[in-house]
Amino acid sequence: MRQTRPALLLIAPSIIFMAALFLWPLIAGVTQAFHGPDGPTTQYVRRMADDPYFWEALRNTALLIVVLIPLQFALAIVMALLMRERPRFAGLHFYIWVVPLAISDLAAGLVWLSIFTDRGYLNSVLDGLGIPTYSWLSFEHPQTMFLAVVVAELWRATSLVFVIVIAGLQGVPRDYDEAASVFGATYWQRVRHVILPQLRPSLQVALILRTILALEAFAVAQALTGRNFPLLVGETYQWYYQLQNPNVATAIALVVLALSIVAAVGYLRLMRP
């Protein structure tokens, strides 16, 4: 027990840090969402639930996660496996694939907007080829609107998964590959029986990170579609700035927090060795 005091001293900075930047805002948030001028209340939560945009945002966010994440992981793993074969100009490929990581998501959204918008690059190319143009981002075409958001997010956020998978792959000794191939494994068998199981910890980290970040997706969709394709965090923004109602905004933010926690715990349990 002699050790308690120095131990406390040592972890004090991180306790203070966590309390100031996480615990206090959390308490403040919960208070804001459940406490009205006349004491505890559920009116903000009810107001949130009565808003049709909320349910659409929830559905869109879920849809985005379900479609986006498997695609991103498939792409990132394939890209990382390609890099593992040490292609020519591997360094250059790596930089190109990692560039999106350095670009802010709003900027990325604007770039893709310039491609998909009615008089954007895509339609110019189509027009030049004599193919009729299309209003990709019109609210009348929810499918292509969704597609545009998926493509933009895929471009923007796959590199994060890619970087994590690359780091994980570097921890897999080449001996394992060689042993597996001597013992008769095809490339696919090597990936399935040797490489992927070794990557499990990295994939787990990437999956948690990506899911949480996808729950928070906002700027790209906002830039491309405005409120035509509402997402949860976009709604928080709407309620806070457009509708000037921080209480409902906080309630939605708490929903995002709850979903993030459920996702993280779920992955950790699911992928336990």
Partner 1 sequence: MAGVTVTNLVKTYPSGNRRATDDISLDVADGEFLVLVGPSGCGKTTLLRMVAGLETPDGGTVTIGGRDVTRLPARERGLSMVFQSYAIFPHLKVRQNIGFGLTMQKVPKPEWNTRVERAAELLDLTDYLDRHPAQLSGGQRQRVAVARAIAVDADVLLMDEPLSNLDALLRLQFRAELKKIVARLGTTTLYVTHDQAEAMSLGDRVAVMRDGRIAQIGAPMDVYDRPGERFVGGFLGAPPMNFFTATVHQGSLVVDDQSVPAPASLASWNDKKILAGIRAENITITQGQAQEGVEAEVEVAEPTGSAILLTVRWAGGELKVQTGPGLRVAPGDRLRLELPAAALRFYDPETGLVLA
Q: Note the residues at the interface with partner 1 (CB under 8 A).
A: 173, 175-176, 178-186, 189, 193-194, 197-198, 200, 273
Q: How far is the CB of 202 from partner 1 (least distance, A)?
A: 13
The two tokens of residue 113 are 């907007």
Specify the residue, 190 or 210, whose C-beta has the smaller distance to partner 1.
Answer: 190
Token pair 């459940």 in the structure block, residue: 34
Specify the residue, 96 or 179, whose C-beta has the smaller distance to partner 1.
Answer: 179
Q: How far is the CB of 197 from partner 1 (least distance, A)?
A: 4
Specify the residue, 198 or 228, whose C-beta has the smaller distance to partner 1.
Answer: 198
Q: How far is the CB of 239 from partner 1 (least distance, A)?
A: 47
The two tokens of residue 171 are 């921890």
Amino acid identity at 269: R
Angle between helices 196-215 and 246-270 (to 10 degrees): 170
Specify the residue, 103 or 196, whose C-beta has the smaller distance to partner 1.
Answer: 196
Q: Which one, of 259, 223, 249, 250, lies nearest residue 58 by Cα?
A: 259
Q: Please give the Cα distance from 69 to 161 (Å, whole number).
A: 10
Specify the residue, 169 or 185, whose C-beta has the smaller distance to partner 1.
Answer: 185
Q: How far is the CB of 179 from partner 1 (least distance, A)?
A: 4
Secondary structure (3-state) at 136:
coil
Q: How far is the CB of 208 from partner 1 (least distance, A)?
A: 20
Q: Which one, of 62, 152, 167, lies nearest residue 111 by Cα?
A: 152
Q: How far is the CB of 268 from partner 1 (least distance, A)?
A: 18
Token pair 């998909």 in the structure block, residue: 116
Specify the residue, 142 or 173, whose C-beta has the smaller distance to partner 1.
Answer: 173
CA angle 72, 77, 82 (to 5 degrees): 125
Q: Please give the Cα distance from 206 to 70 (Å, whole number).
A: 12
Q: How far is the CB of 178 from partner 1 (least distance, A)?
A: 5
- The string of DSSP codes covering 6-51 is HHHHHHHHHHHHHIIIIIHHHHHHHHHHHEETTEE--HHHHHHHH-
Handedness of CA 149, 150, 151, 153 (dihedral sign): positive
